[in-house]
Amino acid sequence: MAESMKKRLNMCEGLAFVLVWGTAALVTATFCWLLGDLVWHGLSHVSWTFLTAPPENAGRRGGIGPILVSTALILGVCLAVALPIGIGTAVLLAEFTSDHSLFGRVTRRSLDVLAGVPSIVFGLFGNAFFCKTLGLGFSILSGGLTLACMVLPILIRSTEEGFRAVPTSYRLSAAALGLSRTTTLIHLVLPAAVPGLLVGLVLGVGRAIAETAALIFTSGYVDRMPESLLDSGRALSIHIFDLSMNVSGGDANAYASALVLVVLLLVINSTVSRLTAYGLQRKIMTV
Amino acid sequence: MTSSRSNTLFLWPTDRLLLWLLRGLAAIAGLIVVLIVAFLIVEALPALHHVGVLRFFTDPSWHPAEGFYNLTPMLWGTLFAMAGSVLIATPLGILSAVFCRYYAPLPLARPYRRLIELLAGIPSVVYGFWGLVVLVPLIGELHPPGPSLLAGILILTIMILPTIALMADASLANVPQQYIRGAAALGLPRWATIRGVVLPAAKSGLFTGVILETGRAIGETMAILMVCGNVVQTPSGIFDPIRTLTANIALEMAYALGDHRAALFVSGLVLMAMIVTLVVSAEWISRGRIYG
Q: Which of A122, A112, A194, A118 has the alpha carbon at shortest distance from A154?
A: A112
A24-71 per-position pLDDT tens digit: 999 999 999 999 999 998 888 888 888 888 888 877 888 888 899 999
Asked if the Cβ–Cβ distance from A124 to B132 is below 8 Å, we say: no
pLDDT at residue number B80: 93
Assess whether pLDDT exceeds 60 at residue B8: no
B142-184 per-position pLDDT tens digit: 887 888 899 999 999 999 999 899 989 989 988 888 998 999 8
pLDDT at residue number B285: 79
Q: Assess B179–A contact: CB distance below 8 Å, yes or no.
A: no
Determine the average pLDDT of the residues in A258-286: 75
Tell me phi and psi for residue B270, to 5 degrees: -60, -45
pLDDT at residue number B154: 94
Mean pLDDT of chain B: 87
Nearest to A23 among B99, B130, B253 (CB): B99
- Three-state SS sequence of A12-50: HHHHHHHHHHHHHHHHHHHHHHHHHHHHHHHHHHCCHHH
Assess whether pLDDT exceeds 50 at residue A246: yes
Q: Assess B43–A contact: CB distance below 8 Å, yes or no.
A: yes
User: Domain locations in chain B?
Assistant: 75-244
B243-283 per-position pLDDT tens digit: 999 999 998 888 888 888 999 999 999 999 999 898 888 88
Question: What ipTM was reported for this prediction?
Answer: 0.87
Assess whether pLDDT exceeds 70 at residue B289: no
Nearest to A98 among B2, B39, B96 (CB): B2
Q: Assess B176–A contact: CB distance below 8 Å, yes or no.
A: no
B285 residue type, one letter: I
Q: Which of A247, A244, A158, A142 has the alpha carbon at shortest distance from A205?
A: A158
User: Which chain B residues are Cβ-neighbours of A202 within 8 angstroms?
Assistant: none
Spatial contact of B253 and A126, defined as CB atoms under 8 Å apart: no
pLDDT at residue number B291: 41
Mean pLDDT of chain A: 86
In eight-state DSSP terms, residue A54 is P
pLDDT at residue number B292: 37
pLDDT at residue number A202: 84
Q: How many CA atoms lie within 13 A of A66 on its CB side?
A: 20
- What is the CATH architecture assignment of B75-244? Orthogonal Bundle (1.10)
Q: Map residue B69 onto helix, strand or coil.
A: strand
How is chain B split among helix, strand and coil, in percent rounded to 5?
A: 75, 0, 20
A166-171, Cβ contacts within 8 angstroms, sequence gap of 24 or more: A166/A192, A166/A193, A168/B1, A168/B3, A168/B4, A171/B1, A171/B4, A171/B7
Assess whether pLDDT exceeds 80 at residue B127: yes
**CATH classification (class only), A50-281:** mainly alpha
Please give, rounded to a whole number of angstroms, the shortest distance from the CA of A51 to a CA of chain B. Answer: 18
pLDDT at residue number A89: 93
B71-88 per-position pLDDT tens digit: 889 999 999 999 999 999
Burial class (CB in 10 A: 0-12, 13-18, 19+), B237: exposed
Asked if the Cβ–Cβ distance from A118 to B246 is below 8 Å, we say: yes
In which element (H, E) is residue B62 found? strand B62-63
Spatial contact of B116 and B162, defined as CB atoms under 8 Å apart: yes
Please give, rounded to a whole number of angstroms, the shortest distance from the CA of B46 to a CA of chain A. Answer: 14
